[in-house]
Amino acid sequence: MIAIQGLDNTNLDGSRCVLTIGNFDGVHVGHQRILATARKKATERKVPLAVLTFEPHPLAILHPNHPPERISTPERKLKLLEKYDADVAVVAQSCPSLLQIEAETFIETVIVARFRPTAIVEGHNFGFGKGRRGNGETLQEFASRWDYEVEIVEPVMQVQDDGAEVRVSSSLVRKLLNQGNAQAATKALGRPFELTGTVVEGSKRGREIGFPTANLLIEHQLVPAEGVYAGSTEVDGEHRACAISIGTTPTFDGQTRQVEAHLLDFSGDLYGRVLHLRFNRRVREQIKFDSIEALISQIQTDVNKIRNMQL
């Protein structure tokens, strides 16, 4: 896949394409359905599948005091778009001037001028242009003028733990992770949620009690609810099950939330390395123990439980 930073650098060598537009945070199963539909159409027409996405999230510009928490890092999002068969990904810089373009002008000056699509594939709730006043009907209104087809893809619906059927969306994934419901988030994403961070020096308490942990510095990404999770990561190409702890280390009266991972059956120096932690399920909530011995006993129980899971 070719990744292009900035609309001004977009050059599809004069060819047409099938285009889909969106933020694609998390590239969840709803996004995957859109990409699969667009991929099929692009293959049939023998043109590239192009994705136009935005960094940062437009809402981070429009509502800077309440930006949406990121599910995927920008780098991971591009890798996922490549995994789901995009040929070209154009990352437009979200800025007020771009976000204030009226919908009709956006079609002419961005969609048509930059991409010349033969088809545009979007989700049913797609919005674009100033105030998100443009939608699928707007695209359809100008389709004959600019010689493209529009296909609107039906949403993916999933049944939640309470029996309610809901539409899969990035907002739903964020909600599930903030509830600590890693299993439901996995279902909505089509794969385990992945948290990316750099291993930094911590308090070394884990090592002192026999369970060394990698302390991760997380920047600009959603951190799931506090608790102990069963997960996994890769080190030097090897799959490693791990116990992931998110919390303030209440037994030690900690104040700062930390993300720590104990890699099962691993010994080695990970300082400075980037780890991608995959979250499978939450094992338990964070609790304060009456003694260090009680904490050690519980950690051993957690590790044994995670070891017996097929991660």
pLDDT at 77 over 90: yes
CA distance linking residue 55 with residue 3, whole number of Å: 13
Same domain flag for 141 and 210 = no
Would you place residue 255 in the very low, low, confident or very high pLDDT band (cuts 50, 70, 90)? low
The answer to whether residue 48 is domain-embedded is yes
Residue 287 sits in a domain of what CATH number?
Answer: 2.40.30.30
Tell whether the model's pLDDT for residue 208 goes beyond 70.
Answer: no
**Helix, strand, coil distribution of the chain in percent, nearest 5:** 35, 30, 35
Q: What is the mean pLDDT of the chain?
A: 93
What's the confidence (pLDDT) of residue 291? 85
**Residues 45-66, mean pLDDT to the nearest whole number:** 94
Rounded Cα distance between 71 and 25, Å, is 6
Mean pLDDT of 142-171: 95
Question: Is 260 annotated in the active site?
Answer: yes
Which pLDDT value is given to residue 310?
A: 63
Active-site residue among 208, 260, 285, 293? Answer: 260
Residue 85 resides in a domain: yes
Q: Could you report the per-residue pLDDT of 100-121, keeping only the tens digit for each?
A: 999 999 999 999 999 999 999 9
Q: How far is CA 27 from CA 35, 48, 71, 105, 188, in A?
A: 9, 19, 9, 27, 10
What is the distance between the alpha carbons of residues 26 and 171, in angstroms, rounded to a whole number? 10
Which among 129, 133, 126, 131 is positioned nearest to 63, based on CA atoms? Answer: 131
Q: Do 137 and 208 lie in a common domain? A: no
The range of the structural domain enclosing residue 126 comes to 2-155
CB 277 within 8 A of CB 233: yes
**Residue 38 shares a structural domain with residue 145:** yes
* Separation CA 303–CA 311 (nearest Å): 13
Q: What is the pLDDT of residue 206?
A: 64
Residues 204 and 145 in one domain: no
> Do both 135 and 218 map to the same domain?
no
